[in-house]
A and B are shown apart, each in its own frame.
Chain A
Amino acid sequence: MLTNAMAIRSDEPELRALMLAALAGDASSHKVLLTRLSALLRSYFRTQFGRMGRAAADAEDLVQEALISIHTRRHTYDPSQLLTPWVYAIARYRLVDYLRRTKSLRATVPIEDAETVTTDDARAATDSRIDLNVLLAQLSPKARLAIQFVKLDGLSVNEAATRLEMSPSAIKVSVHRGLKALSSLVRQRNRT
């Protein structure tokens, strides 16, 4: 933990500057920030999973949950404070929430099967079990199209508004609600 804490402190100013730019609406800073944070989160969750004897590959599910949380709750960051304690508090919350959600299910897995459950996972290290298309299909049509156009196809809000015959602000609301709904779907998906 000590080495971890030292690593955080050294790149804290850089990460914080990226966060402030991202909060101001700079998409490229946001992307760099999330990429850097995903590495921090990955090593945090893998360490924690290692300690608990869980498969490190499952950690990627949590990395993605935490990234979505960081993104959708970024208004709760106080710019006058350090960024990394905020990030780690969210990561810890996501971990505790994940353990609570999976506890009852884990308890039903017999010991001899636990070995196979935790080792049969051969998927790539930065891939999660979430299939975005399956999740998108569960959203309302409006939210699905808004996310498809604005977040996946990269259309501007105005372009998406014209195509969907909605006002730009309605598009923004749909994207926002859609992301919230996606994050709860991801958590449900990660229950198993």
Chain B
Amino acid sequence: MKTDELISMLSTNIEPVKSERLVVMLIVSLSVGAAIAICIMMGMFGTPAAAFRGEHVVLQAFTLLFTLGLVVAGSRLLVKSARPGQSARGPLVAIGMLFLAFLTAACAALIAATPAAWGDMVFGPQWSSCLLCIPLFALAPFAALFWAVSRGAPTHLARAGGAAGLVAGALGATVFALQYPSASIPFVVFWYGGLIIACSAIGALLGPRLLRW
């Protein structure tokens, strides 16, 4: 086939293309994934109520700031990763700063407490359910986001997969936080943060396999 023939074929009867399509697809898959995760959470635990009682409000706001901040920064990384030729430095720095800031807060909270209380703060009462539920709630967003990114044109597949995993993990943690009032700041940062990083690592490993085009 001559290249000229290919070019004529490709440019015959073309349709207008909207460049917002990619972002719309990502938002839709993010919403669908979140909705499924919330349904699973409510099926398991019923309507969230305890998490919003007065005594937990500050810690709850702290938790949601952490997880939703990662959802937003991760989504920006995801959009950049789905478009060829865009620098990812901005969102990567933002994600790093978020982790650093919350890690600092967690360490400060530990320092302020007596060493005897550290065990209870880090291994709060719900570490095992957190370990199970966050990956479970992240599953649907993970699949939906991988689908959406594969509709784009990721050129760094591990980065794109890692970004999808990060957003999915952060969404899973957000949904988990809606149900479970957090025990302490260090608990949120170490467990939620650690599981979000684990989801991101799995995404980075799967990216080169699943996102090829």
Name which residue of chain B comes closest to A82, CB basis: B85
Name which residue of chain B comes closest to A150, CB basis: B13
Question: Which of A9-17, A90-98, A103-111 lies on the face that meets chain B?
Answer: A90-98
Find out whether the CB atom of A76 lies under 8 angstroms from the CB atom of B83.
Answer: yes
Find out whether the CB atom of A85 lies under 8 angstroms from the CB atom of B85.
Answer: yes
Interface size on B, residues (CB 8 A): 31
Question: Which of B1-9, B93-101, B134-142 lies on the face that meets chain A?
Answer: B1-9
Find out whether the CB atom of B19 lies under 8 angstroms from the CB atom of A71.
Answer: no
The residues of B that contact A126 with a CB separation of less than 8 Å are: 2-4
On whether A68 and B85 interact (CB within 8 A), knowing A30-B11, A30-B14, A150-B12, the answer reads no
B152 on the A face (CB < 8 A)? yes
Query: Complex formed: what's the CA distance from A29 to B55 in Å?
Result: 63
Find out whether the CB atom of A151 lies under 8 angstroms from the CB atom of B10.
Answer: yes
Chain A proximity of B206: nearest CB distance (Å): 17
Chain A proximity of B70: nearest CB distance (Å): 23
The residues of B that contact A147 with a CB separation of less than 8 Å are: 9
Find out whether the CB atom of A86 lies under 8 angstroms from the CB atom of B6.
Answer: no
Query: Complex formed: what's the CA distance from A168 to B25 in Å?
Result: 23
Find out whether the CB atom of A172 lies under 8 angstroms from the CB atom of B155.
Answer: no
B17 on the A face (CB < 8 A)? yes
Main secondary structure of the interface of B (DSSP, over half): loop
- Which parts of A1-57 form the interface with B (CB within 8 Å)? 22-25, 27-28, 30-31, 34-35, 38
- The one of B7, B12, B15, B21 that contacts A67, using a Cβ cutoff of 8 Å: B7
Find out whether the CB atom of A27 lies under 8 angstroms from the CB atom of B155.
Answer: no
Find out whether the CB atom of A152 lies under 8 angstroms from the CB atom of B3.
Answer: no
B86 on the A face (CB < 8 A)? yes
Interface centre among A67, A71, A82, A154 (most CB of B within 10 A): A71
Name which residue of chain A comes closest to B79, CB basis: A78
Chain B proximity of A98: nearest CB distance (Å): 12
Find out whether the CB atom of A152 lies under 8 angstroms from the CB atom of B85.
Answer: no
A157 on the B face (CB < 8 A)? yes
B90 on the A face (CB < 8 A)? no
- The one of B10, B84, B85 that contacts A34, using a Cβ cutoff of 8 Å: B10
Chain A proximity of B9: nearest CB distance (Å): 5
Question: What does the 1/0 interface line of B14-26 toward A look like (CB < 8 Å)?
Answer: 1111110110000
Find out whether the CB atom of A24 lies under 8 angstroms from the CB atom of B16.
Answer: yes
- Which parts of A55-74 form the interface with B (CB within 8 Å)? 60, 63-64, 67-69, 71, 73-74
The residues of A that contact B1 with a CB separation of less than 8 Å are: 64, 127-128, 130-132
The residues of B that contact A137 with a CB separation of less than 8 Å are: none
On whether A69 and B14 interact (CB within 8 A), knowing A64-B1, A86-B84, the answer reads no
Name which residue of chain A comes closest to B208, CB basis: A100
- The one of A23, A127, A152 that contacts B9, using a Cβ cutoff of 8 Å: A152
On whether A23 and B153 interact (CB within 8 A), knowing A34-B7, A128-B1, the answer reads no
Find out whether the CB atom of B7 lies under 8 angstroms from the CB atom of A76.
Answer: no
The residues of A that contact B7 with a CB separation of less than 8 Å are: 31, 34-35, 38, 67
Chain B proximity of A185: nearest CB distance (Å): 12
Find out whether the CB atom of B13 lies under 8 angstroms from the CB atom of A151.
Answer: yes
On whether A81 and B86 interact (CB within 8 A), knowing A60-B3, A126-B2, A151-B9, the answer reads yes
Which chain B residues have a beta carbon within 8 Å of chain A's beta carbons?
Answer: 1-19, 21-22, 82-86, 152-153, 155, 212-213
Which are the 10 A-B pairs with shortest beta-carbon distances? A89-B84, A25-B16, A89-B85, A85-B85, A31-B11, A73-B153, A93-B155, A30-B11, A76-B153, A86-B85
- Can you list 10 pairs linking A and B with CB atoms under 8 Å apart? A22-B14, A24-B16, A25-B15, A38-B7, A64-B3, A67-B6, A76-B19, A78-B83, A127-B1, A179-B10
Known: A76-B83, A93-B84. 9 other contacts (CB 8 A): A67-B3, A68-B10, A73-B153, A77-B19, A85-B86, A90-B153, A126-B4, A127-B3, A154-B12
